Structure 1
Amino acid sequence: MSVVIIGGGISGLALAHGLRSRGTGVTLLESDPRLGGNIQTRSRDGFITEAGPNSFVDREPTLRALAASLGIEDRIRTADPAAKRRYIYTRGKLRAVPLSPPALLKSDVLPLGAKLRMMGELFTRRAPEGEESLADFGRRHVGRTATAVLVDAMQTGIYAGDVEALSVGAIFPKVVELERKHRSLVLGMARTQAEARKALPPGAGAPKPTGLVASFDGGLRVLVDALARALGPAARTGARVLGLRREGNGWRLAVEERGQQAELAAEKVVLAVPAYVAAGLLRPLDEALAERVEGIAYAPVAVVHLGFAPGSLPPPDGFGFLVPSVERRRLLGAIHASSTFPWRAEGGRILYTCMVGGAKRPDLVELDDAALVTLAREELRDLAGVTAEPVFTEVIPWKRGIPQYNVGHLARVEAIAEGVARLPGLYLTGNAYKGVGLTDCIRNSQALSDTLAR
Structure 2
Amino acid sequence: MRVVIVGGGISGLALAYGLHSRGTEVTLLEAGPRLGGNIQSRLQDGFLTEAGPNSFVDREPTLRTLAASLGIEDRIRTADPSAKRRYVYTRGKLRTVPMSPPAFLKSDVLPLGARLRMMGELFTPRAPEGDESLAAFGRRHVGRTATAVLVDAMQTGIYAGDMEALSVAAIFPKVVELERKHRSLVLGMARTQAAARKALPAGEGATKPSGMVCSFDGGLQVLVDALARKLGPAARTGARVVELRREGDGWRLAVEEHGQRAELAADRVVLATPAYVAAELLRPLDEKLAARMEGISYAPVAVVHLGFAPGSMPPPDGFGFLVPTQERRRVLGVIHASSTFPWRAEGGRILLTCMVGGAKRPELVELDAAALVTLVREELRELAGVTAEPVFTEVVHWKRGIPQYHVGHLARVAAIDEGVARLPGLHLTGNAYKGVGLIDCIREAHTLADTLTR
Report the TM-score range of the alignment, normalised by the length of the smaller protein: over 0.9
Give per-residue Cα distances to partners, 1:176-198, cap 9 Å, x unaligned. 00000000000000111111111
Aligned residues of 1:197 and 1:207 also touching (Cα < 8 A): no
State whether structure 2 residue 65 is matched by structure 1 residue 65: yes
Aligned to 1:270: 270
Distance 2:441 2:170 in 1: 15
Aligned to 2:243: 243
Aligned to 1:442: 442
Please state how far the C-alpha of 1:353 moved relative to its aligned partner.
0.2
State percent identity of aligned pairs.
Answer: 85
How many residues align? The count is 454
Q: Which runs of 4+ in 1 moved over 3 A?
A: 202-209
Aligned to 1:329: 329
State whether structure 2 residue 255 is matched by structure 1 residue 224: no
SS in 2 for 1:331: coil
State whether structure 2 residue 146 is matched by structure 1 residue 108: no
Please state how far the C-alpha of 1:103 moved relative to its aligned partner.
1.1
Aligned to 1:9: 9
Aligned to 1:402: 402
Please state how far the C-alpha of 1:200 moved relative to its aligned partner.
2.1
Aligned to 1:351: 351
CA gap of 1:126–1:349, structure 2 versus 1, over 3 A, is same
Distance 2:203 2:261 in 1: 65
Aligned residues of 2:301 and 2:358 also touching (Cα < 8 A): yes
Aligned residues of 1:197 and 1:206 also touching (Cα < 8 A): no
Give per-residue Cα distances to partners, 1:273-293, cap 9 Å, x unaligned. 001101100100100000000
Aligned residues of 1:62 and 1:439 also touching (Cα < 8 A): yes
SS in 1 for 2:105: helix
Please state how far the C-alpha of 1:201 moved relative to its aligned partner.
2.6
Distance 1:204 1:286 in 2: 51
Distance 1:288 1:326 in 2: 37
Aligned residues of 1:335 and 1:352 also touching (Cα < 8 A): yes
Give per-residue Cα distances to partners, 1:321-341, cap 9 Å, x unaligned. 000000000000000000000
SS in 1 for 2:332: strand
Amino acid corresponding to residue 142 of structure 1 in structure 2: V
Please state how far the C-alpha of 1:359 moved relative to its aligned partner.
0.2
Amino acid corresponding to residue 161 of structure 2 in structure 1: G
State whether structure 2 residue 303 is matched by structure 1 residue 303: yes
Please state how far the C-alpha of 1:101 moved relative to its aligned partner.
1.6
Aligned residues of 1:271 and 1:278 also touching (Cα < 8 A): yes
Distance 2:375 2:311 in 1: 23
Question: Gaps spanning 5+ residues in structure 2: where?
Answer: none
Please state how far the C-alpha of 1:203 moved relative to its aligned partner.
6.6
Amino acid corresponding to residue 404 of structure 2 in structure 1: Q
Aligned to 1:39: 39
Distance 2:251 2:82 in 1: 52
Amino acid corresponding to residue 400 of structure 2 in structure 1: R
TM-score computed with the length of structure 1 as normaliser: 0.99
Give per-residue Cα distances to partners, 1:184-220, cap 9 Å, x unaligned. 0000001111111111234767996522110000000
Amino acid corresponding to residue 305 of structure 1 in structure 2: H
SS in 2 for 1:246: strand
Aligned to 1:369: 369
Distance 1:361 1:133 in 2: 20
Aligned residues of 2:300 and 2:402 also touching (Cα < 8 A): yes
Distance 1:108 1:210 in 2: 29
Distance 1:452 1:405 in 2: 26
SS in 2 for 1:158: helix
Aligned residues of 1:270 and 1:426 also touching (Cα < 8 A): yes
Give per-residue Cα distances to partners, 1:51-87, cap 9 Å, x unaligned. 0000111111000000011000000001000000000
Aligned residues of 2:2 and 2:25 also touching (Cα < 8 A): yes
Question: Gaps spanning 5+ residues in structure 1: where?
Answer: none
Aligned to 2:123: 123
In the TM superposition, 1:117-196 aligns within 5 A as 117-196=117-196
Range with bigger deviation, 194-203 or 334-343: 194-203
Amino acid corresponding to residue 302 of structure 1 in structure 2: A
State whether structure 2 residue 385 is matched by structure 1 residue 385: yes
Amino acid corresponding to residue 71 of structure 2 in structure 1: G
RMSD: 1.0
SS in 1 for 2:158: coil
Distance 1:346 1:435 in 2: 34
Distance 2:204 2:219 in 1: 35
Distance 2:263 2:203 in 1: 62
Aligned residues of 1:161 and 1:359 also touching (Cα < 8 A): yes
Give per-residue Cα distances to partners, 1:92-131, cap 9 Å, x unaligned. 0000000012211011100000000000000000000000
Aligned residues of 1:196 and 1:207 also touching (Cα < 8 A): no
SS in 1 for 2:43: strand
Aligned residues of 1:245 and 1:285 also touching (Cα < 8 A): yes
Distance 1:343 1:203 in 2: 33
Aligned residues of 1:303 and 1:353 also touching (Cα < 8 A): yes
Distance 1:31 1:190 in 2: 48
